[in-house]
Chains A and B, each alone.
Chain A
């Protein structure tokens, strides 16, 4: 995966990703996606290119259980979300909708850097800076769901959970 960094800070809540004032757009995902992360960076949704990366700090995705948060990030085109740590429900939701989430040291990446990510190998190359950051691959159970393309596909394929 290769793309550009969109940099965000610590504690990016689901209220920043998919705000309550757009609640009425939750059954109109293409419209809702236009407002993705609007209050954190209004340039993100209109300008992100397919394959770009959302890069946060600590506790990315805290707050509500709205799955619309990772779905709209995916719809904007992000190839993955990278953060130092994730809130639990966001992480699980991202896997369920087939959006890769990577827990790693994001402090060295800056907005606009080009990253080259080997998801299975656990290696991120910052092509702009010429540095490499490694990360632990995700737990097996979730990896299986992500590899199937998300939870709907996982259950359709196996008829049940097949996480071990």
Chain B
């Protein structure tokens, strides 16, 4: 029997074959911390008696969740992380540089890497054929000190998507379809491996959306084989030498195969308060939206801002609907300015915020009022997620969000495309 992509990467790391169900200790290539989980990781690191990180250029600290800081306590946490970076020589990605997962995929994550991050959406790196997985602060603290972590090799659910997606349908709709079908715990402890000709034709930004949300079905990793698209993406960021082809064996042993006929997909929306509560956008017509948020590590890339700009050109947001747009990284922001997208979005009534997590996690920058509804391109709509337990968060693609910002209610983007 051949190996799945997860088994391939993990076996290469150990230089011996491992299979689903095996436990082993692996060498870690990259560690990620952010400003919410980082301070605890630093404290645990010190409690463990470590003084040095295993490889300073492979440990990246991000100030992104509260960026810029809205409170003194958070500013103090930022100071602690800056100090730790200075002490250990670790890489610091400071306020304004962008969201951890976006910056990692631009400059750090490479095919074949094992990346452990103290953030659940670390899975985003799976789009680059890296075994990228989320853990808690203590696991990452140990990883930073020893350069090692333990893992159980996961069984794999192969997502096989074939055919072209219709106009108005995006990878966000595909992943919402998968989560809606599998359920929020449908892939717990498992790997999701995305493949088929729909994925092969997909851009890297769109692939990153799939990997990013694998965790919303409970998955440990969301993996995509590396190919010429991966190679071009790495080249764009000056990392051509990091390219390696890694793909699953043709006779890999999958736990199950989830087939998608991509041409039958429609624009979808995840309704409050779970990501698997998925309905077609067309069925939610009439749902008033007080705030539209386009951004996050799911959908805040250049491709997303380009789509939003093309849909909002010569239009204005609905008078009762705030439109908050946040580029996922400094690089994305600069490219969006150069391409004229930011001007178009501002003219449409958008409010642009500094690169970072912004409204996504309810810390600052767009907290909802009681009873208010937000349509967001983010990945989570749990009760209290965006800062107010009395508000309601719906999740959609950028196209659905942009269309809804104009009409003031949830709108199927195919009505306006």
Contacts and interface: CB of A to CB of B under 8 A. Distances in A.
Given A96-B139, A97-B138, A150-B138, A39 B150 contact: no
B36 A23 contact: yes
B363 A67 contact: no
Interface residues of A, number: 44
Interface string A49-63: 000000000110011
Interface string B369-387: 0000000000010111111
Contacts of B367: 21
Contacts of A161: 25, 146, 148, 150
Contacts of A62: 184-185, 218, 382
Interface stretch (A87-95, A112-120, A128-136): A87-95
A48 interface: no
B138 A64 contact: no
Contacts of A87: 185, 188, 218
A164 B151 CA distance: 12
A111 interface: no
B139 A151 contact: yes
Contact of B23 (A15, A92, A164): A164
B150 A64 contact: no
A156 B80 CA distance: 24
B152 A63 contact: no
A152 interface: yes
Contacts of A85: 185, 188
Contact of A67 (B138, B142, B380): B138
A93 B48 CA distance: 16
B118 A26 contact: no
Point out which of A23, A86, A151 has the most chain B C-beta atoms below 10 A from its C-beta: A23
Contacts of B198: none
A15 B134 CA distance: 16
B77 A155 contact: no
Given A13-B382, A13-B383, A26-B36, A65 B152 contact: no
A88 B382 contact: no
Given A16-B382, A88-B218, A152 B136 contact: no
B136 A58 contact: no
Most chain A CB inside 10 Å of its own CB: which residue of B71, B148, B382, B389: B382
Contacts of A13: 380, 382-383, 385
A150 B141 CA distance: 13
Given A20-B361, A67-B137, 10 more contacts: A16-B384, A26-B40, A27-B77, A63-B380, A65-B117, A67-B136, A92-B136, A96-B139, A160-B25, A163-B150
Interface of B: 23, 25, 36-37, 39-40, 44, 47-49, 65-66, 71, 73-74, 76-77, 80, 117-120, 122, 134-139, 142, 145-146, 148, 150, 152, 184-185, 188-189, 218, 220, 274, 361-363, 367, 380, 382-389
Top 7 A-B residue pairs of the complex, sorted by shortest distance between their CB atoms:
A20-B362, A67-B136, A93-B136, A24-B73, A59-B185, A13-B382, A24-B71
